[in-house]
Amino acid sequence: MIDQTACFDALRTALSGGGDYCDLFFENRRDTAVTLDGGKIKELSTGLTVGVGLRVIVGNNFLYMYAGNPTPERLLDLARRMADATAAGKAGNLGDPRPAESRELSPIRIDPVSVDLSRKVELLGRADSAAREYSPKIAETVVRYADYEQNVSIAASDGRFVTDRRVRTRFSVTAVAGEGERKETGMYGPGRSLGWEFFEVFPPEEVAREAARIAVLMLEADHAPQGKMPVVIDNGFGGVIFHEACGHALEATSVADDASVFSGRFGEMIASEVVGAVDDGAVPNAWGSAAFDDEGEPTRRNQLITDGRLTCYLIDRLGSIKMGMPVTGNARRESYKYAPTSRMTNTFILAGPHTREELIETIDEGLYCADMGGGSVNPPTTDFNFAVREAYLIKNGKIDRPVKGASLIGKGSEILRTIEMVADNLDINGTGMCGSRSGSIPANVGQPAIKVSGLVVGGRS
């Protein structure tokens, strides 16, 4: 890790050219990735990344510079160049350095770096065999393993200095089922802030069988209908709609610049009164968690929506300056090459009083979405179009038969108002990577099952 004295020397130098605030982000990261495609190793890579980013905030704007493999001398040179570029007049203030701070949010029992690479490769072979053994219709498989350890140090001109160790592991299987000229794909890819003990929770064979199950099910399914109808979206990755179509519109990145449908609506009803929603970056061992955000602020639970009312935005330091509201511990970045900005962590709709079966029983004809796929969103308007990975028709209050090719089309700000019922089966472990202006970051989505009164379904039937 980088020396604390060297960090504050760099901050002092960077502020000598002027500025209201300065922070430094040091990163030392080790990655491992293995891909098995068609039973053969197609990728096997390990990497080490070391670098530092330096930011000075001047009013509502900022300057950002970064460098790889920083020595104390190189860091000081970067700070001098920052001071020359700032040229804001009077030197900025540097607070008294505080003792280094850290906390263990996600305990790691078995460090992945201690596990031989051959054991990681063996897991992929076990998953490949399990997927193919599930059904003779499984024709192709792609299995991916990834782990990383990111050690960061963050120093800021208010005197804070924090360190954080972030370990994450992910395992995914994509299975393709075929019959004649027809092919369908199933995918399952859980991830956690865990070490090698991840596979005690998610044995590779179980991950593979789930991917194969979806592929075979969709191969035998009819085409989905189209039109506006009541829809039940189940838990876990179903929360991707809230994340993409609503969550991004609550980030200061868009709210502070009046580029969100929720700008200026703090305290207003933006959803049905049955809806509560949270972003919580401090869930132990969750995929999107960290002890501190990338500005050194402790992560925490933020209640975004309470009984349908907007009660919190996701705010980083620059957003706090622009909006006049406190930071929420949501500043994130992909690496030292990116300046931080407001981002989601583990974002989910809260559990309600009903069972999933009760939601389904209220529908004569509609669609049950067991699992969501990818999609597209226009953040300023919240218009979305999402594919459904696993879906079933609802007939007379019961699950009827599987259908494929369904998509959900709508507006995030409107779907919040049409949620009629919320179930009690909350799952916050919909693992994904979220892209925005500060790069690609791990983010969890989640929810219980929800019933939406009327949603446009795209299909071929």
Q: What is the pLDDT of residues 180-235, one digit of tens each?
A: 889 999 999 999 999 999 999 999 999 999 999 999 999 999 999 999 999 999 99
Contact 372, 449 (CB under 8 A): no
Contact 329, 229 (CB under 8 A): no
Is residue 1's pLDDT more than 90? no
- When pLDDT is averaged across residues 397-418 and rounded to a whole number, the result is 94
* Contacts of 210 by beta carbon, 8 Å cutoff, 6+ apart: 173, 186, 188
Of the candidates 65, 26, 71, the one whose C-alpha atom is nearest the C-alpha of residue 49 is 26
Q: Is 48 exposed, middle or buried, given 0-12, 13-18 or 19+ CB atoms closer than 10 A?
A: exposed
| DSSP annotation string for 100-134 | PB---SS--SS-GGGS-HHHHHHHHHHHHHHHHHH
DSSP code for 416: G
Model pTM score: 0.95
Average pLDDT score over residue span 117-141 = 97
Model pLDDT, residue 461: 61
Distance CA 231, CA 451 (A): 6
| Topology (CATH) of 112-151+164-220 | PmbA/TldD fold (3.30.2290)
User: Contact 211/446 with Cβ under 8 angstroms?
Assistant: no
* Contacting residues for 461 by C-beta, under 8 A, at least 6 apart: 222, 223, 224, 225, 226, 403
Residue whose tokens read 């995914």:
172
User: Would you tell me how many other CB atoms lie within 10 Å of the CB of residue 33?
Assistant: 16
pLDDT score of 382: 87
Higher pLDDT among residues 412 and 422, named by residue: 422
Which residues neighbour 334 within 8 Å (Cβ) at sequence distance 6 or greater? 438, 439, 440, 441
Give the mean pLDDT of 157-164: 97
Q: Does the pLDDT at position 7 exceed 90?
A: yes
The reported pLDDT for the residue numbered 381 is: 85
3-state secondary structure of 95: coil
CA distance 405 to 184: 10
Q: Is residue 127 a contact partner of residue 145, using CB atoms and an 8 Å limit?
A: no
Task: Find residue 65's DSSP bridge partners.
Answer: 54
- Residue 28's H or E segment, with its range, is strand 21-37
Give the list of residues 6+ apart from residue 28 with CB closer than 8 angstroms, or none.
1, 48, 49, 50, 150, 151, 152
User: What value does the mean pLDDT of the chain take?
Assistant: 95
Average pLDDT over residues 409-432: 94
pLDDT of residue 193: 98
The H or E element containing residue 27 is strand 21-37
pLDDT tens, 276-332?
A: 999 999 999 999 999 999 999 999 999 999 999 999 999 999 999 999 999 999 999
* Count of Cβ atoms closer than 10 Å to residue 389 Cβ: 20
Give the model's pLDDT for residue 380: 81
Torsion sign (Cα): 406, 409, 415, 420: negative
Domain chopping of the chain, boundaries: 112-151+164-220, 227-458
Whether 460 shows a pLDDT value over 80: the answer reads no
pLDDT band at 43 (very low <50, low <70, confident <90, very high): very high
What's the rounded Cα separation, in Å, for the pair 313 and 268? Answer: 12
Helix (H, G, I), strand (E, B) or coil at 353: coil
* Beta strands per DSSP E along 126-160: 138-156
Question: What is the C-alpha to C-alpha distance for residues 238 and 374, in angstroms, rounded to an integer?
Answer: 11
Asked if residue 215 lies in contact with residue 138, where contact means CB atoms within 8 angstroms, the answer is yes
Phi/psi for 107 (5° steps) reads: -60, 140
Residue 427's CB is within 10 A of a number of other CB atoms, namely: 18
Complete DSSP assignment for 305-342: EETTEE---B--HHHHHHHT----S-EE-SSTTS--EE
Q: Which tokens is 322 given?
A: 């622009």
Q: What is the full DSSP assignment across 225-290?
A: P-EEEEEEE-SGGGGHHIIIIIIGGGBHHHHTTT-STTTT-TTSB-S-TT--EEEETT-TT-TT--
Mean pLDDT highest for which of 84-98, 376-390, 411-425? 411-425
Strand, helix or coil for residue 63: strand
